[in-house]
Structures are given as C-alpha cells and as structure tokens.
Amino acid sequence: MFDTKFAIVLREDLPVWQKLNVTAFLTSGIIAQFPDIIGEPYRDRAGNHYNPLSIQPVIVLSAEQATLGTIHRRTLERGVTASLYVEEMFSTGFDAANRAVFAEFAPDDAKVVGIALRAEKKLVDKITKGARMHV
C-alpha cells in the first residue's frame, strides 16, 4: 500500500515514560517533514470532530545504544533526513534548550535515545538493520 516506511527506533533501556515522550517528539518531526502524511479529520457518529491522524502506520523498533549509533550513521551516509533525540534533551524543559543541548554533540559522540525516519521501504529496512520490533 505504501512505497515508504515510517520507522522509529528507541533505545531499549529507557523507562516507559521516556519511550513514550521520545516517540511523540520524533513523530512530530516526521510529520513536519512530510505534512502529506496527515489524513482527514475524524468524526464520530454523534457528529463530534477530532484531529486528523497519520495515514501511514508507524513501525516502532528498539535497539541498544551501539546499534542506534550505527542507524544514525547510516541515515547520514544515505542522505536521509531523520528526527533525532539525544539523552541530554531529557534535562531541558523547552524547545530552545533542546536545540542548544543538541548542538553540543556530533554524530560520533551523541547519546542517541531515539531516531525516526520515513523513506523508501527497502532503504529504511537497510538503515534500521539490527533493530527489532519493540515489545
């Protein structure tokens, strides 16, 4: 149905609240990059209106720190723009502070806790190789 795949990879040892928080932030980045991924608003039988949702399923994977670093490197090598969340962002409280702490790291020293990407299916599969379905 889709030629692309939308995948999120989370560091497996994060507490559940952090996994959920990172997933939400990373998803917003993909939606900003691909606004056409958003469908039409929902309406229930009573006529109440609700926000539109993504038209494409999201695959959530998990990996250890080293594998996340490899996935991050692969996205850069293949020119795929990704959403990235680093560990130090948990200690900030607002967007400008997130960007400031993010800018302190390079790909070789970033403690990646989550990455999201949307690209052609085979490319996403190659990039995320080593990650497994999140349980």
Segments making up each domain of the chain, as ranges = 4-37+52-133
Scored b (16 or more CB within 10 A) or e, 34-63 reads eeebeeeeeeeeeeeeeeeeeebebbbbbb
Q: Which CATH superfamily is domain 4-37+52-133 in?
A: Bit1 (3.40.1490.10)
pLDDT confidence of residue 47:
98
CB 30 within 8 A of CB 83: yes
pLDDT confidence of residue 6:
98
Whether the full predicted model's pTM is greater than 0.85, yes or no, is yes
pLDDT tens-digit profile, the chain (135 residues):
899 999 999 999 999 999 999 999 999 999 999 999 999 999 999 999 999 999 999 999 999 999 999 999 999 999 999 999 999 999 998 999 999 999 999 999 999 999 999 999 999 999 999 999 998
